[in-house]
Amino acid sequence: MVYLLFSCEKDESEPKPFYTNKILKGITWEVYGKETGLHSDFITCLASDEFGNKWVGTFSSGIAKYDGASWTSFRTTNSGLPNDSIYVITLDKDNAVWIGTKNGLANFNGDEWKVYKDDDLPGISNLVRSLSVDMDNNKWIGYGHHDEGGLIKFDDNTWTLFTPENSLLPDRMINKICVDENNTIWLGTDNGLVRINNGSWRIFNIENIITILPYQYHQIWDVCTDYNDNIWIGLNAMYLYTPTIYYGSLLRYDGKFWYEHKPIESGKTSNRVLAITNDNFRNIWVATGPEDIYNYEISMFNGEEWFVLSDIDPAFPHPFVLDMILDKDNILWVGGIGVGLIKIEMEFE
């Protein structure tokens, strides 16, 4: 079931449709861990480059690069990494790797490392928690915590700092940064969604547009865009009136209307969304957390029906997911706490 919540703008046209009708018939999966050459089972972030290499960030063991046959490890002891605690990895338009760590921002072009921290990184914190690159190769960087965080734009020459004091940024905690096909920047924060389009800001939260998000606490854990220019946001634990009641959800915004798609309608998962991504067939993949009778799960949503992986294959694990990506071959890669790296290939009817 799809819930049309509300429209942000007055418009007589029909809502933009979303559906794929792809039926998930089966999965083939494999787990990579310490026994297979990956040096940590605590995976924090993932990225895939244009050559198909997988870049795997870990909680305290640096980065592992997987070329499909072997692993290469990068740590502070053998590379230019400023810290072994990795928060985010992304690729720029030159296929250079950008890494957000607990103690600075690093850039690796395949030969040389460059590190930005302290006086080289604006702001008062070296912690880089979110990162994305736009179509003009600008780097958008979320840094710091609630009391010292903000947003940085870096064009490889100039740093531009945005905080609640000098911009419309509603919260210092930026959990996710996403760039859509129109080069619009989307920020998932602890206090709602931010859209930056050609320098114009719009905020979606309870304080600015009260009917946009039907929750009191707008902690957005993940943001992604699909092939129809929909923006998907994952909300984990929304505290409504009392801290003991959880209201997570999956929301979709088509630029005009908001829709709610509840993972719990699968009958097998909670609504506490941990991570989201989409595949080449426009299906949405959702990782959810535990609540009441529900375990950690990964599901696929085709616009009408939910498919839970542990239901399709009872042997599939219940991972605490921190990140997941689809590569160019439409293979799903999943990383999280204590699960290592999971490779999932799908079979559709």
> Which tens digits make up the pLDDT trace of 273-291?
999 999 988 899 999 998 8
Structure tokens at 60: 């305290």
> Which tens digits make up the pLDDT trace of 43-72?
999 999 999 999 999 999 999 999 999 999
How many domains would you assign to the chain?
1
Query: Which comes out higher in pLDDT, residue 277 or 215?
Result: 277
pLDDT, position 14: 54
CA 163/CA 250 separation, integer angstroms: 27
CA 243/CA 277 separation, integer angstroms: 28
CATH number at residue 29: 2.130.10.10
Asked if residue 150 has pLDDT above 80, the reply is yes
Asked if residue 239 has pLDDT above 80, the reply is no
Question: φ and ψ at 247, to 5 degrees?
Answer: -135, 75
What burial letters (b/e) apply to 121-152, b meaning 16+ CB within 10 Å? bebebbbbbbbbbbeeebbbbbbbeeeebbbb
pLDDT, position 124: 77
Residue 309 DSSP code: H
Single-letter amino acid code for the residue at 208: N
Query: Which comes out higher in pLDDT, residue 193 or 214?
Result: 193
Structural domain boundaries enclosing 100: 2-348
Cβ neighbourhood burial of 91 (10 Å; 0-12, 13-18, 19+) = middle
